[in-house]
Amino acid sequence: MSIIPVILSGGAGTRLWPLSRELYPKQFLPLAGEHSLLQQTVLRLTGLPDLAPPLVVCNEEHRFLVAEQLRAANVQGAEILLEPAGRNTAPAVALAALHVQARHGDDALLLVLPSDHVIADDAAFRRAVQAGVAAAQAGGLVTFGVQPTRPETGYGYIRTGAALDAGAARQVAAFVEKPDAGRAAQYLASGEYLWNGGMFLLGAGSYLGELKRHAPAIATACQAAFEEVRADLDFVRVGREAFLASPSDSIDYAVMERTDRAAVVALDAGWSDIGSWDALLDVQPRDAAGNVISGDVLVDKVSGSLIRSEGRLVAALGVKDLVIVETADAVLVADRAHAQDVKRLVERLKAQRRDEPLVHRQVFRPWGSYEGLVQSGRFQVKRIVVKPGASLSLQMHHHRAEHWVVVKGTARVTCGEDVRLLAEDQSTYIPIGTAHRLENPGRIDLEIIEVQSGSYLGEDDIVRFQDHYGRSGA
């Protein structure tokens, strides 16, 4: 019987701003090692028996990021299922279960994992998964309860019940909401409670049956959406309008808290959901003063702090218990006690319609990336990197002209009816309203400096006539 990893990659990670942004959230960041959290999630599965290639469920905006990160991690045979819109975890898992059921049958097991968690002991994690297989094969909906290490008030809890005949799983006696400090201490002392880590092992048919029983509106909408399933390049799409009719609910509320098939396996593997900057202090090595330092950072008489620089020098003197995070366009300074409140700042920035909650200065595209260097009034300057063999869409702009200077590699430039090759230090001009395309025919990255000028410089001033990546025109 195959185990199909289902990786849920729809989160925004707003509490880790300014490093995590809506269009480049925390699962794509290397926060606890050389690989991103998404890559770590997939790579830690290596060694599980009967393991099939993963199925990643993500939204439209992240599809090329997911594909590129899986390629970079040398993950073979993975599929990427696109949600037309965010509807929480119950519908996302339903789409995955329908896809797996169509490919592998009712008995195939889904190992449902968030893409943005840290697990220190991969071997212990794999042992816990194997311990839950028997219960899942018997029709149980298995969740992995994290062994608590402190009286945590920020997590929900699972109260364990009697042992099951199948494997190491136990019955779920109850799901418990986030407690206050007193109750959390009681839960820890009792030894009967586990943290709810949001990880599951369940049969495709078992989950869909319980979803239909306890949340029929979700089941109906997802089934209707999956009846319109189609391939789009390397992605799997479902019916948009049908899926939008689905209620938004978590797998916990929609199914797990209502079913009589819930089972739990204890997981003691150094787990963290990295829900805030403060949490990173618990999963990364500290120096003698209790600091976690990364990047170009100089400290003196600093203790208990997380300080991270993505580029510029950050110097800190005589402070303690702070979070300081520097990026190209924003700097966060926060007391560790208020690390969970970063989300409030992000909401205020969104209300002001600022770009900082959405994108970094460097923005990734399927063909490469661009980075804003200067913006002032009617002009802006960007650095554009195009991967070998890649190309931008054939496009035009209504409100801006562009001047391109090649600084590395070779560019093939289409401007109206003219197609030419440009080498380093050569340049060209794209007038307003002219159809144009930039391609990299070489074997190394193409880098250009682009100077835009005009009355409007927004990224939505683009009309695509042809695109290799299936993106629609604006």
Please state the domain extents for the chain: 3-272, 277-347, 362-466
Please, are residues 110 and 4 in contact by the beta-carbon 8 Å criterion? yes
**Terminal alpha carbon distance of the chain:** 45
H or E stretch including 231?
A: strand 230-232
- Measure the CA–CA gap between 226 and 219, rounded to whole angstroms: 10
Residues of the chain where predicted confidence (pLDDT) is lower than 70 = 1, 166-167, 472-474
Half-sphere exposure for 230 (CA within 13 Å, toward CB): 6
Beta bridge partners of 437: 414
3-state helix, strand, coil in the chain (%, to 5): 25, 35, 40
Q: Are 292 and 284 in contact (CB under 8 A)?
A: yes
CATH topology of domain 3-272: Spore Coat Polysaccharide Biosynthesis Protein SpsA; Chain A (3.90.550)
Please list, in sequence order, all residues whose beta carbon lies within 8 angstroms of the beta carbon of residue 105, skipping any fewer than 6 positions away. Answer: 204, 205
Q: Which two tokens stand for residue 443?
A: 């074997």
Label residue 455 exposed, middle or buried (CB < 10 Å: 0-12, 13-18, 19+): exposed
Mention every residue, 6+ apart, whose C-beta is less than 8 A from residue 220: none
Question: Where are the alpha helices (H) located in 105-195, listed in sequence order?
Answer: 122-137, 181-190
- Which of the listed CATH numbers 3.90.1510.10, 2.60.120.10, 3.40.190.10, 3.90.950.10 matches domain 362-466? 2.60.120.10
Structure tokens at 200: 């599951």
Q: Determine the Cα–Cα distance for residues 346 and 351; give it in Å rounded to an integer.
A: 9
Instruction: Tell me the two tokens of residue 126.
Output: 């794999």
**Cα separation of 462 and 433, whole Å?**
10
Radius of gyration (C-alpha) of the chain in whole angstroms: 24
Residue 52, pLDDT score: 95
Q: Under a CB-based contact definition with an 8 Å cutoff, are residues 283 and 270 in contact?
A: yes
Q: What is the pLDDT of residue 474?
A: 41
Instruction: Give the model's pLDDT for residue 35.
Output: 95
